[in-house]
């Protein structure tokens, strides 16, 4: 018993010092006025009340929700389509899988800089391609009407990150199900709808939850490419939180924002788990 506690003591100390401690401290700071250089003073729920009077708080929530509602479905559907296409035993398939997976492990800063070059309105490849097909050029990241869509496109470049999970699920679908369906006269479309998709619903559910959590934490691409502009059209929630914490040194206010974000993500996750019984299929059922 003593040896067991001794072995996990390093992990426990690290968890308490670097995870549990900061989480509890942020909860306390969210009820305090603290600007780093001065000691924190208890202010109750004033930070939370101030949030609901802050126009930028609602702007950041709207921008983040817009990004999530556009990115999450496209990400889940795109990942599933890529996995279906790569679930083939053909020559060079391993290299193709690597190519689709590689963008998801590239550093966020490098990815943002690459896309800033691609979307440059003067010499970027995106406008060059539009000109080739006879479409007008776009300003992309400099236009409030297209900036969020451009960031969604940047994010979708890494949809291959969940592709191995979907590939693993596809490999685990019993081939007997397809054989029986083909004997009964079912075509590929019916097999996809009635066998493949139901068997993939656990992976779709997992990807839906993780993608939503990730979109509400989007920061790097907006910070590097637009810094919240133009006209606050890409001022996402975590970017506003960062500004309050490290530009304005309003640590108590930023901590309150962090706990509001936690509440939003927790509520969405709980709702999705409650609804999952209606559409997620598990083999053990």
Q: What pLDDT, on a 0 to 100 scale, did the predictor assign at position 284?
A: 57
pTM of structure: 0.90
| Percent of the chain topping pLDDT 70 | 99
pLDDT per residue over 207-244, tens digit each? Answer: 999 999 999 999 999 999 999 989 999 999 999 999 99
CA 19, 20, 26 angle in degrees (round to 5)?
90
Q: How confident is the model at residue 201 (pLDDT cuts 50, 70, 90)?
A: very high
What's the burial of 38, exposed, middle or buried (CB within 10 Å: 0-12/13-18/19+)?
A: exposed
- Assess whether pLDDT exceeds 70 at residue 59: yes
CB-based contact 152:67 (threshold 8 Å)? yes
CA dihedral 56, 58, 64, 66 (to 10 degrees): -120
Whole-number average pLDDT of the chain: 90
Q: Check if CATH label 1.10.3720.10 holds for domain 52-276.
A: yes
CA pair distance 44, 35, nearest whole angstrom: 16
pLDDT per residue over 64-117, tens digit each? Answer: 999 999 999 999 999 999 999 998 888 888 898 988 898 888 898 999 999 999
Nearest Cα to 195, choosing from 165, 175, 218? 175
Nearest Cα to 240, choosing from 11, 58, 103? 58
CB half-sphere exposure, 104, CA atoms < 13 A: 17
- Assess whether pLDDT exceeds 60 at residue 285: no
Q: What pLDDT, on a 0 to 100 scale, did the predictor assign at position 79?
A: 93
Distances (CA, A) of 154 to 32, 71, 230, 252: 37, 10, 17, 32
pLDDT per residue over 29-44, tens digit each? Answer: 999 998 887 888 999 8
CA pair distance 170, 189, nearest whole angstrom: 16
Q: What pLDDT, on a 0 to 100 scale, did the predictor assign at position 6?
A: 79
Q: In this structure, which long-range contacts are made by residues 209-213, counting pairs with CB atoms below 8 Å and at least 24 apart in sequence?
A: 209/269, 209/272, 210/162, 211/71, 211/72, 211/75, 211/76, 211/162, 212/68, 212/72, 212/265, 212/268, 212/269, 212/272, 213/265, 213/269
CA pair distance 139, 230, nearest whole angstrom: 11
CA pair distance 65, 186, nearest whole angstrom: 40
Cα maximum dimension of the chain: 75
Q: How confident is the model at residue 252 (pLDDT cuts 50, 70, 90)?
A: very high
Q: How confident is the model at residue 120 (pLDDT cuts 50, 70, 90)?
A: very high
pLDDT per residue over 2-26, tens digit each? Answer: 777 778 888 888 888 888 889 999 9
| Percent of the chain topping pLDDT 90 | 61
């Amino acid at each position: 018993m003593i040896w067991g506690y001794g072995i996990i003591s390093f992990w426990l100390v690290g968890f308490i010092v670097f995870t549990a401690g900061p989480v509890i401290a942020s909860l306390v700071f969210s009820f305090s006025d603290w600007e780093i250089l001065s000691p924190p003073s208890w202010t109750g729920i004033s930070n939370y009340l101030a949030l609901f009077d802050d126009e930028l708080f609602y702007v950041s929530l709207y921008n983040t929700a817009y990004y999530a509602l556009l990115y999450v479905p496209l990400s889940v559907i795109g990942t599933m389509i890529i996995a279906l296409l790569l679930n083939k035993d053909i020559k060079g398939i391993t290299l193709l899988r690597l190519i689709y997976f590689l963008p998801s492990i590239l550093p966020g800063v490098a990815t943002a800089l690459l896309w800033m070059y691609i979307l440059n309105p003067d010499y970027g490849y995106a406008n060059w391609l539009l000109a080739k097909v006879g479409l007008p050029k776009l300003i992309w990241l400099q236009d409030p009407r297209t900036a969020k869509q451009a960031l969604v496109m940047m994010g979708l470049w890494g949809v291959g990150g969940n592709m191995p999970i979907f590939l693993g699920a596809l490999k685990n679908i019993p081939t007997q199900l397809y054989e029986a369906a083909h004997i009964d006269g079912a075509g590929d479309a019916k097999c996809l709808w009635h066998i493949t998709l139901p068997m993939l619903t656990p992976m779709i559910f997992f990807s839906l939850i993780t993608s939503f959590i990730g979109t509400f934490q989007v920061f790097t691409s907006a910070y590097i490419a637009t810094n919240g502009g133009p006209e606050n059209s890409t001022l996402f929630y975590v970017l506003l939180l960062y500004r309050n914490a490290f530009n304005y040194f309003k640590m108590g206010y930023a901590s309150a924002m962090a706990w509001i974000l936690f509440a939003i993500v927790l509520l969405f996750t709980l709702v999705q788990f409650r609804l999952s019984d209606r559409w997620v299929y598990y083999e053990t059922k």
